[in-house]
Amino acid sequence: MSKVTEISGIAGVGKTQLCLQLCVTVQIPEQCGGVQGQAIFIDTEGSFNVSRLEDMSQACVEHCRNTMNLPFDVWNLESIRDNIFVFRCKEVTDLLSCVMVLKEFLKSHCQVKLIVIDSLAFHFRHDLENTALRSRVLHKIAAELSRLAVDFKIAVVVTNQMTTKFDSKGQGRLTPALGTSWGHAPTFRLILDWDPSRSFRWATLIKSSSLPSGSAPYQVTKDGIRDVFFEKETTPPVVNVEDGIPGISFNSVF
């Protein structure tokens, strides 16, 4: 809580799936060890998928009922849907306006414990060609999200796309979009990446104020995001940092 987390990765690696999973997980009742909160999902790409949300919700509810003997009337699919507030932002001006009114919304919805923006990068990469204006708007949004996280003691999660950076030798790397100035805004930064076998994926922590860097395998199933267990040691992808910019080689993705 009280932190901003960035999740980066190429298309199809599971960024939206993880965001949907978080919107369900944040609602787990206190008697099951959860925070029993509500979620805000700010959708810039039309990525909010109700059917996937229902799959994840059903699996999570059944797990809580089976492991904690949770009564049927305490937590169900309908209550999960009702406790996610979805805002569709089709332009960067919509996104800015939405973020700036969240303070008043949170004052009247004190159970909100999570804000998701999927994705923050989309409109900045397509709508704003003026670099100076783009930087000002992005800085304003980043500052407001940080204030909201601290003032209301909530978690803020934003997804970011990947872009290609070339070094002096012409070698390309995939790095999180939005530039180096944005990279200072999140408290935590995760890069999601495919394993070369394509049978599972990796989540790599590249920035944290309290945790060491590291990688964890995961898979996207019908029930949601799940752990992967190995019988033998498996090597995670290498995330290199050059000139303060984290990135992964093309070989680990394609």
Residue 86 belongs to a domain with what CATH number? 3.40.50.300
Which residue bears the tokens 């805002």? 87
**CA 207 to mean position of chain CA atoms:** 14
Give the side-chain half-sphere CA count within 13 A for 244: 6
Indicate the number of domains in the chain: 1
Q: Rounded to 5 degrees, what are φ and ψ at 235?
A: -90, 125
Per-residue pLDDT band for 172 (boundaries 50, 70, 90) equals confident
What is the Cα–Cα distance from 84 to 55, expressed in whole angstroms? 15
State the virtual CA torsion across 177, 178, 179, 181 in degrees, nearest 10. Answer: -140
What is the Cα–Cα distance from 53 to 44, expressed in whole angstroms? 17
Q: Is the pLDDT of residue 241 over 70?
A: no
Q: Is the pLDDT of residue 106 over 50?
A: yes
Structure tokens at 90: 């089709």
Mean pLDDT of 166-185: 85
pLDDT digits (tens, 9 = 90+) for 126-158: 777 788 898 999 999 999 999 999 999 999 999
Per-residue pLDDT band for 248 (boundaries 50, 70, 90) equals low
pLDDT digits (tens, 9 = 90+) for 11-48: 999 999 999 999 999 999 998 899 999 999 999 999 99
What is the Cα–Cα distance from 110 to 114, expressed in whole angstroms? 11
pLDDT digits (tens, 9 = 90+) for 109-130: 999 999 999 999 999 887 777 8
At residue 181, the pLDDT reads: 85
Cβ-contact 237, 248 below 8 angstroms: yes
At residue 246, the pLDDT reads: 64
Mean confidence (pLDDT) of the chain: 90
What is the Cα–Cα distance from 244 to 184, expressed in whole angstroms? 10
Q: Is the pLDDT of residue 162 over 90?
A: yes
> Helices in the chain by DSSP H: which ranges?
15-25, 50-68, 77-82, 92-108, 121-126, 131-151, 179-183
Q: Is the pLDDT of residue 198 over 90?
A: no
Nearest alpha-carbon partner for 32 in 62, 77, 2: 62
Mean pLDDT of 166-177: 82
DSSP 200: S
Q: Rounded to 5 degrees, what are φ and ψ at 148?
A: -65, -40
Structure tokens at 71: 């009564």
What is the Cα–Cα distance from 134 to 129, expressed in whole angstroms? 7
User: Which residues are 32's β-sheet partners?
Assistant: none
Range of the domain at 107: 4-252
Q: Is the pLDDT of residue 69 over 60?
A: yes
At residue 240, the pLDDT reads: 64
At residue 74, the pLDDT reads: 76
Q: Is the pLDDT of residue 254 over 50?
A: no
Per-residue pLDDT band for 52 (boundaries 50, 70, 90) equals very high
